[in-house]
Amino acid sequence: MSLVVATIKRDLVIAARNPGEWLNPLMFFLMVLALFPLAVDPDPKFLAKIAAGVVWVAALLATLLSLDALFKADVEDGTLEQWLASGESLYAMALGKVFVHWCISGLPLTLVAPLLALMMNLPEEAYSALFFSLLLGTPILSLLGAVGAALTAGVRSGGLLLSLVILPLYIPILIFGASAVYHAGIEMEYAGQLGFLASFLCIAMTLTPFAVAGALKLNLSR
């Protein structure tokens, strides 16, 4: 267990010294939301109508952008080999890795999304729904994405493959997330969608680390 904690700490330090790596997806998110109103009909009513979907799609693609690097460096420099050699649980290790990934990708997205949604003229009632749907949804994106990242970690230019593997799995999260925000915007009940996201999160948290651990093991046994 101590190695897992040490790895989490170490990865956070690495992220702090390499801000470019995690700022890039955040910049992408910002740019999409800044450019969208310029490219479509700038009518506030129209923007308000599409805001929920645009913010969620941008958050999803920004997460996808950050996934490719999740295990790549660890596979290439031998860190993964040392994990496996340590005999510590790969399940816990996978959860730790995803936690760090979420801290530097999903969490900042969740925090800045309400600010950027202003540019999309998101209805006032929808802000808390946006925040909570992203808070529940982005960890799922990280968890599911980790499975794809682990499968493609040993593949050269696995980015395309990763998107193909992961995007279909992201669709339900996108639908429930965006629909929660949209329904909040037209003053309808949205607890159901958040409930779905919460249960997805529970399932993903318990099951995906198994898949990640298995995929990483496979990567190394060659």
Site residues (vs other proteins, CB under 8 A): 2-3, 5-7, 10, 13-14, 17-18, 76-79, 81-82, 84-88, 220-221
Residue 112's nearest CA partner among 51, 34, 186, 30 is: 30
Nearest distance from C-beta of residue 85 to other proteins, angstroms: 4
Please state the closest distance from residue 10 (CB atom) to other proteins, in A. Answer: 5
Helix (H) or strand (E) holding 216: helix 191-220
**Rounded to the nearest whole angstrom, what is the least distance from the CB of residue 95 to other proteins in the complex?**
17
Quick one: 41 or 81, whose CB is closer to other proteins?
A: 81
Which of the 8 DSSP states describes residue 150? H
Let me know: does 105 contact 22? Beta carbons within 8 Å: yes
Report the nearest approach of other proteins to the CB of residue 222 (Å).
8
Backbone angles phi, psi at 193, to 5 degrees: -65, -40
Nearer to other proteins, 41 or 77 (CB): 77
Q: Which residue has the tokens 């295990």?
A: 71
Query: Which lies closer to other proteins via its Cβ, residue 100 or residue 143?
Result: 100
- Nearest to other proteins of 45, 222 (CB atom): 222
- Element of type H or E holding 147: helix 127-152
Least distance from other proteins to the Cβ atom of residue 20, Å? 11
Question: What is the three-class DSSP state of 222?
Answer: coil
**Which residue's CB is nearer to other proteins, number 5 or number 188?**
5
Q: What does the alpha-carbon distance between residue 118 and residue 111 come to, in Å, rounded to a whole number?
A: 13
Burial class of residue 17 (count of CB atoms within 10 Å of its CB; 0-12, 13-18, 19+): exposed
